[in-house]
Amino acid sequence: MKRILAIAWLTCRESVRSGTAVSLLCLALAAVGWLALTLQGDGTLAGQAEVFLRYASGAAISILGLASLWLGAGRIASEVDDRTIQTIVVKPVRTAEIWIGKWLGLVLVNAALLAAVGCVVVAGVAWILHRSGSRAQQERDDAIRRVMVCRTPLAPLPGAAGEPGECETREGDGSHDGDTHRSARIAREVVPPGGSRTWTFNLPGGSSGGLWLQFAFDYGSAERLPMQGTWSLTRPGSTNALWAQAVSGLSAGRHRVEIRQAGKLSGILTLTFTSARAQDTGVIVFRPGSSATILLGDSGMPAQLLRAMLIALFKLSVLAAAGLSCSALFTTPVATFAATSLAVATLCLQYFLSIPEGAATPHSCSTHGDQDDATKAAWYQAAADSVTRAGATVLKPAYSLDGIGPVSDGLTVPWALVGRAALVLLGGYALVLAALGIVALRRREMAGP
Amino acid sequence: MEHGRQDAEVADKGERNACLVLLAAATLFLVIAGCLNVVCYRDRTGRMRKIDNLDHAPPPVVFTSVVLGGFRGILSDILWLRASYLQDSGEYVELVQLADWVTRLEPESPETWSFHSWNMAYNVSVYMPDDETRWRWVQSGIRLLRDEGLRFTPSEPDLYAQLAWLYNHKIAGFTDTANGHYKQRVAAEMEGLFPGGRPPFHDPAAMERARQAAKLDPVRVREAEHKFGQMDWRAPETHAAYWAYLGTLASRGRGTMLCRRILYQALASSFFRGALAPDPGGLCDVRLTRRAMEVPALEAFLNVMHEVPQAGMDESVSNFVHDAILVHNAFGDEARASELLGLLRERYPAGNLDASVPEYCAREPGFAAMHAHGAEPLALVEGYLDRHWRAVARRDAVAADAAWGVAVNVWATFEKKTNPAVRKRFNVPPFDRFARAVFDRAIASISPEARGLLERDWAARMGEKGPR
């Protein structure tokens, strides 16, 4: 362990001495500063702060990610090229210890840089929210309450109406089973004019941070007409509303309403939405998977950003591991190219996976066209599908691990997610890359003439 | 041996000649390529769009334009895809920012500015829950074009046309249910810059403030006023006319037909509702006619018709002239109405045009009911109310009663033909508020002695709750 720490320390020291760490810090802080001065959001103070939080963190992490990849790719290969690695390999140090030590050094440098960036981002958000300007005090207070507090979503209890996730929808197979599920989905997501929909929640007592209701309407048949209705909270079996709020003029998209009497509410509660639309103005459609949630406001944004930064650090660690493993396999330029290509391919795959299924399906070839072309197109399509499926199987667990998105949306990042990120990213990807890198390094000729 | 040396010399000479030929050919091809390159370069330069003002562009735009080079397009596509994805998901917070970045990455493309401006002002704004939030999005669309797009591509008439259309259709028009709120916000903003809706040409500092805030160039404002007459700059139609006019001047007049069409539409709208009624208590939302706009509107119509003679244009012009005759007649300006009737006879000879102005107007009793939107019937009511109070001022009770009767009748017909929701969308005020606005305008232009007469008439008529 001492040997690993010694190599890690050397790597850190070299990063500082060579000016790499300072340059990266300056670059990341310059990006954050530039965004703080230029971002405008949607014209509201809260929107500006949210957009800054998302983009400033994202920009800094992107810069550090790219730097991790390139630093890792240049680390071992360049030391082999200029033979400085011989000063280490002649010592009683195992190959694995060299690899791990260098990786740990890069991780520590990244951790320090991320900590600095995190502090500057929080300071930037506070500056945006508090700087003098033409904003009204009320808007400022609302923005602070919206951005500086993170809320924990409370999932509805399984009930008669059910919730997505408990009942996976299967469609398009034409079977009776598919029809049943489609009917269940319609019953779950569609509210007819004058109709209602209920959810059951178990609210913990003693929450002092306030309660919010978050709901999302989908684009329905009458999408341009404003949605209107009433939300209410009642005890099961009772008709007396503990809280009620009429909403009107809302459009498709996500909305958030503060539940004012939060202190009085705890235990099992039924949330009901009753549509106030007239018969001829169409149904109201809730967005699948995120129809309604109660949010408990219980944590400050900086603490949640710290957790998000931890997840980001794990991702940077994987990038550093990828760079180092490429560096153990190839010479510096090839390793840099290979690592960058790997990162680009991963990002492209993430984009392809984000496209809803069926949206990118090419039109079937015309019957008048060349049969060979059709066969070739089908073959290419099948090959692309196979590659995408294989990539998705390998990388999908990593794509779902996002901390910055929830924090900028005002949601908490649970420790469970941080733990899962550590397990998947460090225990999974980084470990595999480490094994690959160590094997490659062991086989590499390092004492050439 | 000697023989061998001669052979070698011949071979060397042959090689040298071949080299010379090849060299000459290479030089020839190089010259041809050079000449072709000049042609290609000229062709490419003609096809490529350039930012007009890169020298004065802000550092981020210069940086992205120069450093990113061809990769700007890829980055722009990625941001555009994200914007589309977020919009489809109903997440709008980032859209203004993304639109700003996409357009700055491709500042030379007018389509990009147009698309994002239109998207925010039309597609996104309608999903907003309240009028003020809607206005914010419409304003974002306007600002993107007016403050940024035209800064980089000031010679693109399409961008002027797009901006003028936003003012003329989105704000001055009635398609958006929040159009009344937009009109009020534009009026409030302009009241701060041009008090009373008139440009303070004597105050360069105020004109400079207007240039900074609303991008109204003092020279062009003066030019527009000189060309079209005095306009109320609190009315969105005026801004539509101003930007369309600037569009007609852009690109040395090429490709400006759309701007010229919007120009005559905006001037015609100004004729019917281009003035805000005076209101000492604040900004009044009652819109009155600006009859002086009829001349430049007609001129703009005829200019376009002269260049693009189309059947549809003929109908537009004759409709406008027809409506203008009715409005001038309502105000009692028979001379101008008669001139316009003469123009109709000359250009569009058809039946029923041989009559006198009163006869011609009397044949159109259903004017108020024929028009779906509120401006023209209100202009007619305004005319008869104005005529009524001028008759009161000159103590002509018969004429006053007759004019009042027609005004009330047209108003009643209009109310009968439209439902309250439609009237709300068209910002039609209650009769007493509308009549008061016309009364205030009339009383401001008569002698002090006659004011008492008008006050008594108002008390007598509206004290009995008017026509209701």
Rg (CA), chain B: 31
- Judge if B296 and B370 occupy the same domain: no
How would you class A369 by CB atoms within 10 Å of its CB: exposed for 0-12, middle for 13-18, buried for 19 or more? exposed
A118 within some domain = yes
CATH assignment at residue A206: 2.60.120
pLDDT tens-digit map of A151-163: 888 888 876 444 4
A146 within some domain = no
- Contact criterion met (CB < 8 Å) for B129 and A226: yes
Give the end of a domain, one of A256, A290, A324: A290
**What is the amino acid identity at position B92?**
Y
Residues A352 and A388 sit within 8 Å (Cβ to Cβ): yes
- Judge if B296 and B381 occupy the same domain: no
> Which residues of A204-252 form beta strands (DSSP E)?
211-217, 227-234, 241-250
B67 vs A141: CA distance, rounded Å: 41
* Residue A317 pLDDT: 94
pTM score of the predicted model: 0.77
Give the end of a domain, one of B309, B330, B351: B309
* Residue B280 pLDDT: 61
B424 within some domain = yes
- Tokens 């470990």 belong to which residue? A431
> Which residues of B279-423 form beta strands (DSSP E)?
287-288
- Contact criterion met (CB < 8 Å) for A51 and B91: no
Query: How does residue A112 score in pLDDT terms, banded at 50, 70 and 90?
Result: very high
Contact A354/B at CB under 8 A = yes
- Judge if A282 and A306 occupy the same domain: no
Give the up-direction half-sphere exposure of residue A44: CA atoms within 13 A in the CB hemisphere: 22
Lowest mean pLDDT among A25-29, A220-224, A294-298, B290-294: A220-224
Q: How many domains does chain A have?
A: 2
Give the end of a domain, one of A268, A290, A312: A290
- Judge if B181 and B301 occupy the same domain: yes
> In the structure encoding, which two tokens stand for residue B119, read together?
């998207």
Nearest-by-CA chain B residue for A250: B129
- Spatial CB neighbours of B371, under 8 Å, sequence gap ≥ 6: B377
* Residue A160 pLDDT: 47
A420 vs A385: CA distance, rounded Å: 28
* Residue A171 pLDDT: 39
- Judge if B169 and B237 occupy the same domain: yes
Neighbours of A385 (CB within 10 A): 10
**What is the amino acid identity at position A385?**
D
Give the end of a domain, one of A235, A267, A290: A290
pLDDT tens-digit map of B35-73: 888 888 777 766 555 555 556 666 666 777 777 777 888
Q: Considering only CA atoms, which of A409, A190, A156 is closest in space to residue A294?
A: A156
| H helix runs in B125-203, sequence order | 131-143, 150-152, 157-165, 179-193
Contact A254/B at CB under 8 A = yes
How would you class B396 by CB atoms within 10 Å of its CB: exposed for 0-12, middle for 13-18, buried for 19 or more? middle
- Spatial CB neighbours of A414, under 8 Å, sequence gap ≥ 6: A152
**What is the amino acid identity at position A349?**
L
**What is the amino acid identity at position B25?**
A
> Which one has a higher pLDDT value, B467 or A244?
A244
- Spatial CB neighbours of B415, under 8 Å, sequence gap ≥ 6: B423
Q: Give the burial string for A414-425 (b: 16+ CB within 10 Å, else e).
A: eeebbebbbebb
* Residue A418 pLDDT: 94
B161 vs B258: CA distance, rounded Å: 6
Give the end of a domain, one of B309, B324, B341: B309
- Judge if A47 and A172 occupy the same domain: no
Q: Cα separations (Å) of B385 from B6, B166, B390?
A: 118, 32, 9
Q: Which site among A37, A39, A40, A42 would you substitute to test the B interface, given the most B Cβ atoms closer than 10 Å to its Cβ?
A: A42
- Contact criterion met (CB < 8 Å) for B94 and A54: yes
B81 contact residues in A (CB cutoff 8 A): 351
- Contact criterion met (CB < 8 Å) for A219 and B90: yes
Q: Cα separations (Å) of B123 from A366, B88, B92, B134, B215?
A: 35, 11, 11, 10, 25
* Residue A114 pLDDT: 93
A20 vs B131: CA distance, rounded Å: 51
Q: Which of B85, B90, B100 sits opposite A253 (nearest CB)?
A: B90
- Tens of pLDDT along chain B (468 residues) come to 566 677 777 778 888 889 999 999 999 999 999 888 888 877 776 655 555 555 666 666 677 777 777 788 888 888 888 888 888 877 888 888 888 888 888 888 889 999 999 999 998 888 887 888 899 999 999 999 999 899 888 888 899 999 999 999 999 988 888 898 999 999 999 989 998 889 999 999 999 999 999 999 999 999 999 988 888 999 999 999 999 999 988 866 667 788 888 988 899 889 988 888 876 666 667 888 888 888 888 888 887 777 766 667 777 888 888 888 888 888 888 889 898 888 888 887 776 677 788 888 777 655 544 454 455 788 888 999 999 999 998 888 899 998 998 888 888 888 888 888 888 888 888 888 889 888 988 888 888 888 888 888 888 888 655 443
B122 within some domain = no
Q: What is the mean pLDDT of residues A215-237?
A: 76
Q: Cα separations (Å) of A301 from A91, A122, B92, B403?
A: 47, 8, 22, 69
Rg (CA), chain A: 27
Share of chain A above pLDDT 70, in %: 84
B262 within some domain = yes
Residues B451 and B443 sit within 8 Å (Cβ to Cβ): yes
Own/partner long-range contacts of B301-304 (Cβ < 8 Å, ≥24 apart):
B301/B264, B301/B268, B303/B260, B303/B264, B304/B257, B304/B260, B304/B261, B304/B264
Q: Mean pLDDT across chain A, nearest whole number?
A: 81
B96 contact residues in A (CB cutoff 8 A): 40-43
- Contact criterion met (CB < 8 Å) for B127 and A43: no
B171 within some domain = yes
- Contact criterion met (CB < 8 Å) for A254 and B97: no
A79 vs A84: CA distance, rounded Å: 5
Share of chain A above pLDDT 90, in %: 21
- Judge if B293 and B425 occupy the same domain: no
Q: Considering only CA atoms, which of B149, B46, B157, B70 is closest in space to residue B107?
A: B149
A151 within some domain = no
Q: What is the mean pLDDT of residues A204-222?
A: 74
Nearest-by-CA chain A residue for B90: A253
Q: Which of B81, B93, B127 sits opposite A41 (nearest CB)?
A: B93
Distance from CA of B93 to the nearest CA of A (A): 5
**What is the amino acid identity at position B73?**
G
Q: How many domains does chain B have?
A: 2
- Contact criterion met (CB < 8 Å) for B92 and A249: no
Question: A45-81 and A301-329 helices cross at what angle (nearest 10)?
Answer: 20
- Contact criterion met (CB < 8 Å) for A217 and B90: yes
Q: Which of B89, B93, B129 sits opposite A51 (nearest CB)?
A: B93
Contact A250/B at CB under 8 A = yes
A441 vs A430: CA distance, rounded Å: 16
Distance from CA of B112 to the nearest CA of A (A): 19
> In the structure encoding, which two tokens stand for residue A117, read together?
């960036």
Distance from CA of A352 to the nearest CA of B (A): 12
- Contact criterion met (CB < 8 Å) for B127 and A254: no
> In the structure encoding, which two tokens stand for residue A251, read together?
């459009």
Nearest-by-CA chain B residue for A356: B85
Contact A43/B at CB under 8 A = yes
A35 vs A37: CA distance, rounded Å: 5
B399 within some domain = yes
- Judge if B162 and B298 occupy the same domain: yes
B186 vs B94: CA distance, rounded Å: 25
* Residue B274 pLDDT: 84
B87 within some domain = no
Enumerate the β-bridge partners of residue A212. Answer: A258, A295
> Which DSSP symbol is given to A298?
E
Sign of CA dihedral A308, A309, A314, A315: positive
The range of the structural domain enclosing residue A428 comes to 2-133+301-443
Q: What is the mean pLDDT of residues A422-437?
A: 92
- Spatial CB neighbours of A277, under 8 Å, sequence gap ≥ 6: A193, A194, A225, A227, A228, A229, A283, A284
Q: Give the burial string for A100-121 (b: 16+ CB within 10 Å, else e).
A: bbbbbbbbbbbeebbebbbebb
Q: Which of B60, B92, B100 sits opposite A40 (nearest CB)?
A: B100
A193 within some domain = yes
* Residue B467 pLDDT: 45
A250 contact residues in B (CB cutoff 8 A): 129
- Judge if A305 and A286 occupy the same domain: no
The range of the structural domain enclosing residue B386 comes to 366-467
Q: Considering only CA atoms, which of B461, B434, B114, B421 is closest in space to residue B289?
A: B434
> Which one has a higher pLDDT value, B235 or A210?
B235
> In the structure encoding, which two tokens stand for residue B220, read together?
């062009």
- Contact criterion met (CB < 8 Å) for A254 and B92: no
A-B interface: how many C-beta pairs under 8 angstroms?
57
pLDDT tens-digit map of A331-375: 888 988 998 898 888 888 887 777 665 555 544 444 455 677 788
Query: How does residue A181 score in pLDDT terms, banded at 50, 70 and 90?
Result: low
Distance from CA of A39 to the nearest CA of B (A): 7
Contact A138/B at CB under 8 A = no
Contact A216/B at CB under 8 A = yes
Sign of CA dihedral B256, B257, B260, B261: negative
Contact A6/B at CB under 8 A = no
- Contact criterion met (CB < 8 Å) for A251 and B95: no
Question: How long, in residues, is chain B?
Answer: 468
Maximum distance among all Cα pairs of chain B, rounded to whole angstroms:
138
pLDDT tens-digit map of B236-251: 999 999 999 999 888 6
Which residues of B fall below an 8 Å CB-CB distance to A? 60, 81, 85, 89-97, 100, 126-130, 136, 139-140
Contact A96/B at CB under 8 A = no
- Judge if B275 and B399 occupy the same domain: no
- Contact criterion met (CB < 8 Å) for A252 and B127: yes
Nearest-by-CA chain B residue for A46: B93
Q: Which of B85, B90, B130 sits opposite A249 (nearest CB)?
A: B130
**What is the amino acid identity at position B444?**
A
- Contact criterion met (CB < 8 Å) for A251 and B140: no
- Judge if B162 and B295 occupy the same domain: yes
B423 within some domain = yes
Nearest-by-CA chain B residue for A34: B60
A152 within some domain = no
Tell me: pLDDT of A224 over 90: no
Q: Which of B81, B85, B93 sits opposite A47 (nearest CB)?
A: B93
